[in-house]
Amino acid sequence: MAKLDASVQELLQGKNFAFVSTVSADGSPHVTPTWVDTDGDYVLISTGLGTVKQKNAKRDPRVTIAITEQANPYNLVIIRGQVVEQISGSSATDLLDKLTKRYMGMDRFPDRQLASTQVTLKIKPVRVYTRKM
Amino acid sequence: MAKLDASVQELLQGKNFAFVSTVSADGSPHVTPTWVDTDGDYVLISTGLGTVKQKNAKRDPRVTIAITEQANPYNLVIIRGQVVEQISGSSATDLLDKLTKRYMGMDRFPDRQLASTQVTLKIKPVRVYTRKM
């Protein structure tokens, strides 16, 4: 398990987007931008049940994530990791609400039906690459 | 071959970053941000010879690219495509110089040795997804 340095944690806890890549069933690559968080050790992605990345990560847990700082796109972190757990239930809803607050400035995610079926992808970092310009 | 609408072309010709995902030899996903351009029909990526994405695209030409507008990260285009040609030589150097001008405001790429070994990935769009918020 790779360590997330303070500067990496800062990027993951800022209003920045993580571009999450997974591999689809036909072996082709998939990538999509998402909100992101960290508990200090793991990378946390909030996604809907049934999205391509959720299903891909179920079949093959290997993911690679590229995050750049919104204010400086040359401040880059790339994390190769493994989805060790897919968490549903109230803690997944809580994460979505926390991220809605951070990214949208709203107290909670407006669609409570959708919020109740949210899934947290808990990602163990295996390799971390950083580049700052 | 999918068509690139005017709004998609605008995104590809702006000062925006393309997050290019490919699949590595071990079957794991790879993603990295790059400068990007289009000739109106194809997506053009400038990369170095021997980079992970260049080698991955040689082995498996399927790529997926996510591009968001720098000023509005919720303006998103995702393009699934196929690298139909890897172009080296003076036209690849010219593309790098053009992108250096657009992204860095410099007349040409400063490292001429590196510029001379640049490769253009010419990507045929197969499917284009857009979301604007």
Contact assignment for A29 to B17 by CB distance below 8 Å? no
In this complex, is the C-beta atom of B73 within 8 Å of any C-beta atom belonging to chain A?
yes
Which residue of chain B comes nearest to A62, CA vs CA? B28
pTM beyond 0.90: the answer is: yes
Q: Identity (one letter) of the amino acid at B119?
A: V
C-alpha neighbours within 13 Å on the C-beta side of residue A62? 14
Q: Give the count of domains, chain A.
A: 1
Cα B66 to Cα A49: distance, rounded to the nearest angstrom: 21
Query: Tokens 């994390």 correspond to what residue?
Result: A79
Cβ contacts (< 8 Å) between B31 and chain A: which residues? 19-21, 29, 31, 64-66, 78
**How many angstroms separate the CA atoms of A59 and A75, rounded?**
31
Distance of CA B84 to the CA centre of its chain: 13
Residue B81 lies in a domain: yes
Three-state SS at B124 = strand
Q: Is B121 helix (H, G, I), strand (E, B) or coil?
A: strand
Residue B71 C-alpha, separation from nearest chain A C-alpha, in angstroms: 9
Global ipTM: 0.95
To which residue do tokens 């150097």 refer?
A: B93
Q: E-assigned strands of B24-71?
A: 29-34, 36-38, 43-48, 62-69
Which amino acid would we find at residue B3?
K
Q: Which amino acid is at A13?
A: Q
**pLDDT confidence of residue A133:** 78
Overall residue count recorded for chain A in this entry: 133
Give the pLDDT means over successive 10-residue stretches in chain A (133 positions): 97 98 98 98 97 98 97 96 98 98 96 96 98 86
**Least CB–CB distance from A29: residue in B63, B70, B73:** B63
Q: Is residue A107 part of a domain?
A: yes
Query: What residues of chain B lie within 8 A of the CB of A30, using their CB?
Result: 21, 29, 64
Name the residue of chain A whose CA is nearest to B33's CA: A66
Decide if B68 is inside a domain: yes
- Residue B85 covered by a domain: yes
Range of the domain at B64: 6-131
Assigned domain for B109 exists = yes
From A22, A31, A62, residue closest to B19, measured CB to CB = A31
Which residues, given as ranges, of chain B have pLDDT below 50? Answer: none
Is B1 a domain residue? Answer: no
Within a domain: A1 = no
Of the candidates A27, A65, A73, which has its C-beta nearest B23's C-beta? Answer: A27
- Whether residues A23 and B27 touch (CB distance < 8 A) is answered with yes
CA distance A40 to A48: 23
SS3 A103: helix
Q: What residues does B47 pair with on adjacent strands?
A: B119
| CATH number, domain with residue A71 | 2.30.110.10
